[in-house]
Amino acid sequence: MSIFATTQATPPPHTAAHRLPPPNRLAGVISNCKSISDVLRIHAVLYRHNLHTEPLINFHLLRAYSSLNRLDYSITLFHQTHKKNVFIYTAIIHCHAQRNSYEQALFYYSQMLIDNIEPNAFTFSSALISCPLKPGQALHSQTVKFSLDKDLYVSTSLVDLYARGGDVLSAEKLFATMPQRSLVSLTTMLTCYAKQGEVAAARVLFDDMEEKDVVCWNVMIDGYAQHGLANEALVLFRRMLAEKVEPNEVTAVAVLSACGQIGALESGRWIHSYIENSRNIKVNVQVGTALINMYSKCGSLKDARLVFDRVNDKDVVVWNSMIVGYAMHGFGKDALQLFNEMCRIRLKPSDITFIGLLSACAHAGLVNEGRRFFNTMKDEYAIEPKVEHYGCMVNLLSRAGQIEEAYKLVMDMKIEPDSVLLGTLLGACRLHGNIALGEKIAEYLISQNLANSGTYVLLSNIYAAIGNWDGVARVRTLMKEKGVQKEPGCSSIELSNKVHEFLAGDLRHPKSKEIYMMLEEINGWLKAEGYILQTQIVLHDIGEKQKQNSLEVHSEKLAVAFGLISTQPGTSIKIVKNLRVCPDCHAVFKLISKFTGRKIMMRDRNRFHHFVNGTCSCGDYW
Q: How far apart are CA 187 and CA 92, in angstroms?
A: 27
pLDDT score of 13: 44
- Residues 177, 153 contacting (CB under 8 angstroms): no
DSSP code of 430? H
pLDDT score of 338: 96
pLDDT score of 1: 38
Q: Could you tell me what percentage of the chain is helix, strand and coil, using 3-state DSSP and rounding each to the nearest 5? A: 65, 5, 30
Q: How far apart are CA 252 and CA 256, in angstroms?
A: 6
For residue 46, the number of C-alpha atoms closer than 13 Å in the C-beta half-sphere is 23
Task: Give how far Cα 520 sits from Cα of 280, 516, 549, 551, Å.
Answer: 51, 6, 11, 13
Q: How far apart are CA 184 and CA 181, in angstroms?
A: 8
Could you tell me the residue ranges of all domains in the chain? 212-304, 491-616
Which helix (H) or strand (E) is 608 found in, with range? strand 608-612
Which residues partner with 185 through β-bridges? none
3-state SS class at 299:
coil
Chain-centroid distance of CA 451 in Å reads: 24
Pick out the chain residues at pLDDT < 70: 1-24, 465, 534-549, 622
pLDDT score of 7: 38
pLDDT score of 57: 82
Task: Please give the radius of gyration of the chain, using alpha carbons only, rounded to the nearest integer.
Answer: 31
Residues 6+ apart with CB under 8 A from 436: none
Report the candidate in 205, 289, 275, 284 with the shortest Cα–Cα distance to residue 247.
275
Q: How far apart are CA 40 and CA 128, in angstroms?
A: 30
Q: How far apart are CA 160 and CA 387, in angstroms?
A: 31
DSSP 310-338: H-SS--HHHHHHHHHHHHHTT-HHHHHHH
3-state SS class at 275:
helix
Residues 6+ apart with CB under 8 A from 384: 378
